[in-house]
Structure 1
């Protein structure tokens, strides 16, 4: 074989080896990326439970690491420390509920159906995610000191306000809702009626001698929220 052919053959072989190595590197990176994502999710889930149950002051990094089944050094590697982790938990909590709300597709719903769906969804979300109310309670005790550090939080809520505003405008145009309703006040009313019941049901049950944790009471309160909101919206 001539020297030129030998050189060309070696070049092809080297190119083939380089391509194989690159493919092997990419394949090796995928499990690492998946492991990193799983670890990050495990830390956030553990931190959410810890902060919801013990508040910011009572939560411990050691306890979060133990819940996530990792060592503390790895937690610091992913999130940098307790403050940054707490902000990530706050953001993650809001991302979760706003993402779920987006799937309601309120922009394309009949106004009355869409409003009822939003009320029912919010009530059920609070029931299914008590940690969300726990995190919010903790942050309100701190007067939103940590939430103000988030660069994402304001953008997360704009689509929800716009969708509620659209429901109200379409409902008013159809004669189903009163005009000039404030979308933020409507959402605050929905959230307040649900969260107050759930965060105070133990004392309320004792005071009024009614088991507000009973399924019939919970279902009835959900319908009560719908009735109150629609009574206000009625033209």
Structure 2
């Protein structure tokens, strides 16, 4: 049988582990609530009281875990980037042929933006603030580096195999993929009004994905 001292130590360790799990869960609940609040109201319009109500926590916990509204906004931005980077890793682009890898990245980016409109809204808000929050982040560049590296390796494989042309910059290509999806979705209200078309109708969305894919593949494939 374990000695009383070892049993006490084990019990204390269990309590610490449970508290850590509870703290992690609470922080995630706060982050998700804040994500919706910031997306709905912007940085200026969001209120800590509203975030606390959404999360079902005392607002003092928000200050305890995150410091203040600006720090919480940065944590939300980092979480949204972490979410998309984690999902991109699950694509396993390195296992696909170069053309299939690029097509998969295009379709994933489009689908992720459609499924997570809050991501676009948060980016719009941060751009209005000239990325002052992201500039203080030590995590953002680390998150993006693996994707750029993987895409660069895909492009180089395609070049060696003779399917891709040379000289394609991975960063520029990813910005183009993201931009072709981002601009359409973040400006769909004004574009739909200007052109008199419902650009969010299923047929229009399908046509847009086909268009983006053809544009990107037309650029990377050799003639």
* TM-score (norm. length: structure 2): 0.95
Match of 1:184? 171
Q: Using the alignment, how far apart are the partners of 2:62 and 2:170 within structure 1?
A: 39
> Is 1:101 matched up with 2:97?
no
* TM-score (norm. length: structure 1): 0.91
Gap runs ≥5 in structure 1 = 1-12
Match of 2:37? 50
Match of 2:145? 158
- Structural mapping, 1:56-135, within 5 Å: 56-135=43-122
Number of aligned residue pairs: 222
Q: Using the alignment, how far apart are the partners of 1:151 and 1:207 within structure 2?
A: 41
Match of 2:217? 230
> Is 1:208 matched up with 2:188?
no
Gap runs ≥5 in structure 2 = none
Match of 2:162? 175
Q: Using the alignment, how far apart are the partners of 2:7 and 2:169 within structure 1?
A: 61
Q: Using the alignment, how far apart are the partners of 1:89 and 1:100 within structure 2?
A: 17
Tell me the CA shift for residue 216 of structure 1.
1.4
